[in-house]
Structure 1
Protein backbone atom coordinates (compact mmCIF):
# COMPACT_ATOMS: atom_id res chain seq x y z
CA UNK A 1 0.00 0.00 0.00
CA UNK A 2 1.33 3.43 -0.95
CA UNK A 3 1.86 6.20 1.59
CA UNK A 4 -1.47 7.98 2.15
CA UNK A 5 -1.87 11.38 0.47
CA UNK A 6 -5.33 12.39 1.72
CA UNK A 7 -6.82 12.70 5.21
CA UNK A 8 -5.51 14.07 8.48
CA UNK A 9 -2.35 12.69 10.08
CA UNK A 10 -2.09 13.16 13.85
CA UNK A 11 0.65 12.69 16.39
CA UNK A 12 1.30 13.23 20.05
CA UNK A 13 4.57 13.94 21.84
CA UNK A 14 5.74 14.11 25.43
CA UNK A 15 8.92 15.82 26.56
CA UNK A 16 10.09 14.48 29.91
CA UNK A 17 12.69 17.27 30.10
CA UNK A 18 10.06 20.01 29.70
CA UNK A 19 7.14 18.10 31.31
CA UNK A 20 5.06 19.03 28.28
CA UNK A 21 2.65 16.94 26.22
CA UNK A 22 1.50 18.16 22.79
CA UNK A 23 -0.50 16.95 19.83
CA UNK A 24 -1.14 18.17 16.31
CA UNK A 25 -2.81 17.35 13.03
CA UNK A 26 -1.60 17.85 9.46
CA UNK A 27 -3.60 17.81 6.21
CA UNK A 28 -1.92 15.12 4.10
CA UNK A 29 -2.95 16.78 0.83
CA UNK A 30 -1.54 20.25 1.56
CA UNK A 31 0.94 19.67 4.39
CA UNK A 32 -0.85 22.41 6.35
CA UNK A 33 -0.89 22.12 10.14
CA UNK A 34 -4.60 22.17 11.04
CA UNK A 35 -4.21 22.31 14.82
CA UNK A 36 -1.56 22.11 17.53
CA UNK A 37 -2.09 22.06 21.29
CA UNK A 38 0.12 21.93 24.35
CA UNK A 39 -1.72 20.22 27.20
CA UNK A 40 0.71 20.40 30.09
CA UNK A 41 2.27 17.38 31.75
CA UNK A 42 0.11 14.46 30.59
CA UNK A 43 1.08 11.16 28.95
CA UNK A 44 1.95 10.26 25.39
CA UNK A 45 -1.23 8.15 25.14
CA UNK A 46 -3.36 11.12 26.24
CA UNK A 47 -1.63 13.33 23.64
CA UNK A 48 -2.13 10.76 20.88
CA UNK A 49 -5.79 10.23 21.82
CA UNK A 50 -6.66 13.93 22.04
CA UNK A 51 -4.95 14.48 18.68
CA UNK A 52 -7.26 11.95 17.05
CA UNK A 53 -10.32 13.43 18.83
CA UNK A 54 -9.32 16.91 17.61
CA UNK A 55 -9.02 15.58 14.04
CA UNK A 56 -12.46 13.96 14.31
CA UNK A 57 -13.91 17.28 15.54
CA UNK A 58 -12.17 19.11 12.69
CA UNK A 59 -13.67 16.75 10.10
CA UNK A 60 -17.19 17.16 11.54
CA UNK A 61 -17.00 20.95 11.99
CA UNK A 62 -15.43 21.66 8.58
CA UNK A 63 -17.13 18.95 6.48
CA UNK A 64 -13.61 17.78 5.66
CA UNK A 65 -13.14 15.01 3.08
CA UNK A 66 -12.03 12.33 3.02
CA UNK A 67 -13.27 11.46 6.50
CA UNK A 68 -10.03 9.71 7.42
CA UNK A 69 -7.65 10.16 10.36
CA UNK A 70 -4.27 8.48 10.60
CA UNK A 71 -2.45 7.75 13.85
CA UNK A 72 0.49 5.52 14.71
CA UNK A 73 -0.98 4.91 18.18
CA UNK A 74 -2.75 1.58 18.67
CA UNK A 75 -3.84 2.80 22.13
CA UNK A 76 -5.48 5.95 20.70
CA UNK A 77 -7.29 3.82 18.11
CA UNK A 78 -8.66 1.53 20.83
CA UNK A 79 -9.74 4.47 23.01
CA UNK A 80 -11.51 6.09 20.03
CA UNK A 81 -13.21 2.82 19.09
CA UNK A 82 -14.40 2.36 22.71
CA UNK A 83 -15.22 6.07 23.08
CA UNK A 84 -13.52 5.74 26.47
CA UNK A 85 -9.95 5.98 27.71
CA UNK A 86 -8.17 3.58 30.03
CA UNK A 87 -6.20 6.42 31.62
CA UNK A 88 -6.28 6.84 35.40
CA UNK A 89 -5.26 10.49 35.11
CA UNK A 90 -7.85 13.00 36.28
CA UNK A 91 -7.62 15.35 33.29
CA UNK A 92 -10.85 17.21 32.46
CA UNK A 93 -10.15 17.22 28.71
CA UNK A 94 -10.23 13.41 28.71
CA UNK A 95 -13.75 13.38 30.13
CA UNK A 96 -14.80 16.11 27.65
CA UNK A 97 -13.39 14.03 24.77
CA UNK A 98 -15.28 10.92 25.90
CA UNK A 99 -18.52 12.92 26.18
CA UNK A 100 -17.97 14.39 22.71
CA UNK A 101 -17.32 10.95 21.17
CA UNK A 102 -20.48 9.52 22.73
CA UNK A 103 -22.70 12.55 22.03
CA UNK A 104 -21.58 12.75 18.39
CA UNK A 105 -21.47 8.98 17.97
CA UNK A 106 -23.36 8.85 14.65
CA UNK A 107 -20.97 11.31 12.97
CA UNK A 108 -17.89 9.91 14.73
CA UNK A 109 -18.67 6.40 13.47
CA UNK A 110 -18.61 7.68 9.86
CA UNK A 111 -14.94 8.67 10.23
CA UNK A 112 -12.23 6.09 9.58
CA UNK A 113 -9.33 5.98 12.02
CA UNK A 114 -6.51 4.11 10.30
CA UNK A 115 -3.17 2.97 11.66
CA UNK A 116 -0.23 4.89 10.16
CA UNK A 117 2.41 2.26 9.40
CA UNK A 118 5.73 3.89 10.34
CA UNK A 119 7.71 0.86 9.12
CA UNK A 120 6.35 1.19 5.58
CA UNK A 121 5.57 4.93 5.25
CA UNK A 122 8.08 6.53 7.63
CA UNK A 123 7.03 8.86 10.44
CA UNK A 124 3.63 10.55 10.12
CA UNK A 125 3.82 14.09 8.68
CA UNK A 126 2.46 15.28 12.06
CA UNK A 127 5.49 13.82 13.88
CA UNK A 128 7.26 16.18 16.26
CA UNK A 129 10.71 14.70 15.57
CA UNK A 130 11.53 14.20 19.26
CA UNK A 131 12.68 10.57 19.05
Structure 2
Protein backbone atom coordinates (compact mmCIF):
# COMPACT_ATOMS: atom_id res chain seq x y z
CA UNK A 1 0.00 0.00 0.00
CA UNK A 2 1.34 3.43 -0.97
CA UNK A 3 0.30 6.74 0.59
CA UNK A 4 0.29 10.06 -1.25
CA UNK A 5 -0.44 13.62 -0.12
CA UNK A 6 -2.03 16.65 -1.79
CA UNK A 7 -1.35 20.37 -1.36
CA UNK A 8 -4.93 20.59 -0.08
CA UNK A 9 -3.82 18.42 2.88
CA UNK A 10 -5.51 15.17 1.94
CA UNK A 11 -3.84 11.79 2.22
CA UNK A 12 -4.54 9.09 -0.33
CA UNK A 13 -3.67 5.49 0.47
CA UNK A 14 -3.77 3.24 -2.57
CA UNK A 15 -4.33 -0.50 -2.52
CA UNK A 16 -4.81 -1.94 -6.01
CA UNK A 17 -7.35 0.26 -7.78
CA UNK A 18 -8.94 1.56 -4.58
CA UNK A 19 -7.89 4.83 -2.95
CA UNK A 20 -8.77 5.67 0.65
CA UNK A 21 -8.91 9.43 1.23
CA UNK A 22 -8.82 11.49 4.41
CA UNK A 23 -7.36 14.70 5.80
CA UNK A 24 -3.85 14.97 7.19
CA UNK A 25 -2.91 15.62 10.78
CA UNK A 26 -1.77 19.09 9.68
CA UNK A 27 -5.24 19.84 8.27
CA UNK A 28 -6.89 18.63 11.45
CA UNK A 29 -4.59 20.83 13.57
CA UNK A 30 -5.48 23.87 11.44
CA UNK A 31 -9.20 23.15 11.76
CA UNK A 32 -9.22 22.45 15.48
CA UNK A 33 -11.97 20.32 17.00
CA UNK A 34 -14.01 18.76 14.21
CA UNK A 35 -17.75 18.82 15.02
CA UNK A 36 -19.41 17.86 11.71
CA UNK A 37 -18.58 15.75 8.67
CA UNK A 38 -20.64 15.47 5.46
CA UNK A 39 -19.74 12.63 3.10
CA UNK A 40 -20.80 11.86 -0.48
CA UNK A 41 -23.16 9.04 -1.40
CA UNK A 42 -21.71 5.69 -2.47
CA UNK A 43 -21.81 5.57 -6.27
CA UNK A 44 -21.05 9.28 -6.75
CA UNK A 45 -18.53 9.94 -9.52
CA UNK A 46 -15.81 12.41 -8.57
CA UNK A 47 -13.38 14.13 -10.87
CA UNK A 48 -9.98 15.22 -9.60
CA UNK A 49 -10.47 18.54 -7.79
CA UNK A 50 -14.18 18.06 -7.07
CA UNK A 51 -15.54 18.71 -3.61
CA UNK A 52 -15.68 15.26 -2.04
CA UNK A 53 -16.76 16.03 1.53
CA UNK A 54 -17.27 18.85 4.00
CA UNK A 55 -15.71 19.08 7.43
CA UNK A 56 -16.63 21.69 10.03
CA UNK A 57 -14.81 22.56 13.20
CA UNK A 58 -15.35 25.05 15.98
CA UNK A 59 -13.16 27.43 13.93
CA UNK A 60 -14.16 26.94 10.29
CA UNK A 61 -15.85 24.91 7.59
CA UNK A 62 -13.69 23.42 4.89
CA UNK A 63 -14.13 21.32 1.79
CA UNK A 64 -12.26 18.09 1.27
CA UNK A 65 -11.33 17.77 -2.39
CA UNK A 66 -10.89 14.66 -4.47
CA UNK A 67 -7.15 14.45 -5.05
CA UNK A 68 -7.91 11.74 -7.61
CA UNK A 69 -10.99 10.97 -9.66
CA UNK A 70 -13.12 7.89 -9.33
CA UNK A 71 -16.36 6.40 -8.09
CA UNK A 72 -17.12 6.47 -4.36
CA UNK A 73 -17.31 2.83 -3.28
CA UNK A 74 -17.47 3.40 0.48
CA UNK A 75 -18.01 6.29 2.89
CA UNK A 76 -16.92 6.20 6.53
CA UNK A 77 -20.38 6.78 7.98
CA UNK A 78 -18.99 6.45 11.52
CA UNK A 79 -17.63 10.00 11.07
CA UNK A 80 -21.13 11.37 10.53
CA UNK A 81 -22.16 10.02 13.94
CA UNK A 82 -18.82 10.73 15.64
CA UNK A 83 -17.00 13.55 13.81
CA UNK A 84 -14.59 13.91 16.74
CA UNK A 85 -12.85 10.73 15.50
CA UNK A 86 -11.12 13.03 12.99
CA UNK A 87 -9.45 14.80 15.93
CA UNK A 88 -8.08 11.54 17.32
CA UNK A 89 -6.91 9.63 14.24
CA UNK A 90 -7.08 11.78 11.06
CA UNK A 91 -4.63 9.61 9.12
CA UNK A 92 -6.04 6.28 10.19
CA UNK A 93 -9.49 5.22 11.39
CA UNK A 94 -10.98 8.62 10.46
CA UNK A 95 -10.67 8.14 6.68
CA UNK A 96 -13.48 9.83 4.75
CA UNK A 97 -14.11 7.88 1.54
CA UNK A 98 -12.84 5.08 -0.64
CA UNK A 99 -12.90 5.52 -4.41
CA UNK A 100 -12.27 3.19 -7.31
CA UNK A 101 -9.54 5.01 -9.24
CA UNK A 102 -10.54 6.27 -12.67
CA UNK A 103 -6.95 7.13 -13.71
CA UNK A 104 -3.98 5.93 -11.65
CA UNK A 105 -1.84 8.43 -13.58
CA UNK A 106 -3.36 11.20 -11.44
CA UNK A 107 -1.33 9.89 -8.52
CA UNK A 108 1.82 11.22 -10.21
CA UNK A 109 0.74 14.79 -9.33
CA UNK A 110 0.77 14.00 -5.60
CA UNK A 111 3.57 14.06 -3.02
CA UNK A 112 5.14 11.31 -0.97
CA UNK A 113 5.45 11.69 2.82
CA UNK A 114 8.87 13.40 2.70
CA UNK A 115 7.77 15.90 0.04
CA UNK A 116 4.57 16.64 1.95
CA UNK A 117 6.49 17.26 5.19
CA UNK A 118 8.82 19.62 3.33
CA UNK A 119 5.79 21.40 1.84
CA UNK A 120 4.13 21.83 5.26
CA UNK A 121 7.39 23.19 6.66
CA UNK A 122 7.13 26.08 4.19
CA UNK A 123 3.65 27.11 5.37
Asked whether the two chains share a fold, i.e. TM above 0.5, the reply is no
More strand by share: 2
More helix by share: 1
TM-score, structure 1 normalization = 0.28
TM-score, structure 2 normalization = 0.30
